[in-house]
Amino acid sequence: MKYTFFFISKLLRLCYCCMCMHLSTLFTKIKFWTNNVSFGRNLESSGIPFVHLSLHASCDIGCNFTIGNWAVLNASGIKGKSKIEVRNNAHLKIGDNVGMTATTIMCFNKILIGDNVKLGVGVHIYDTDFHNIDPMKRLAGDNIQTVKTKPVVIGNNVFIGAYSIILKGVTIGENSVIGAGAVVTKSIPANEIWAGNPAKCVKILK
């Protein structure tokens, strides 16, 4: 009797999760459509992300895109949703077979993410400083036009570990790996493993 109850409860939980996945994927597609985000086939979403595109911004997402927004379905238990925000005149392009969980992408200039890229839970990608370095400009209201931005490029087959931060102007070469919690402040060649704060090369992949 105990095993029967256990089996039924597991089956009901599986059915509930499948139903929620289908519904959240549908609502995510609607959110993308209403924000003029173009996306390919086989999009899958657990939970509903935060998505915002400003005037004249653009966002293109490839096929087989997976985006996680539920604490129950990620290893860290983090409760935050993924956030995709593209500001005025900026462009975000995400390739095919990309997966992310509770990831934040803030695009003020240009961010290009290649194919087969994995973004670990809590990863942040910024192509802007958000604020001026000059304290007088910050005190004067932090005019967005004077804040520095530089494009970010992430190559094919890159894996970025959990809670890493990718800052403006960075290019990460194909097949490279970023260790969990790294802060990437400069460009990384292809086929290398980088980790730490600031991130440094710890291994060359053969």
Catalytic residues: 131
- The span from the CA of 133 to the CA of 14, in Å, is 50
- The span from the CA of 19 to the CA of 40, in Å, is 22
Neighbours of 163 (CB within 10 A): 17
- The span from the CA of 166 to the CA of 117, in Å, is 14
- Of 118, 119, 60, the closest CA to residue 91 belongs to 60
**Cis before 135 (ω within 30):** no
Give the position of tokens 């086929």: 191
* C-alpha gyration radius of the chain: 19
- The span from the CA of 44 to the CA of 20, in Å, is 11
State whether residue 22 is helix, strand or coil.
Answer: helix
Q: Which amino acid is at 12?
A: L
Q: Are 180 and 161 in contact (CB under 8 A)?
A: yes
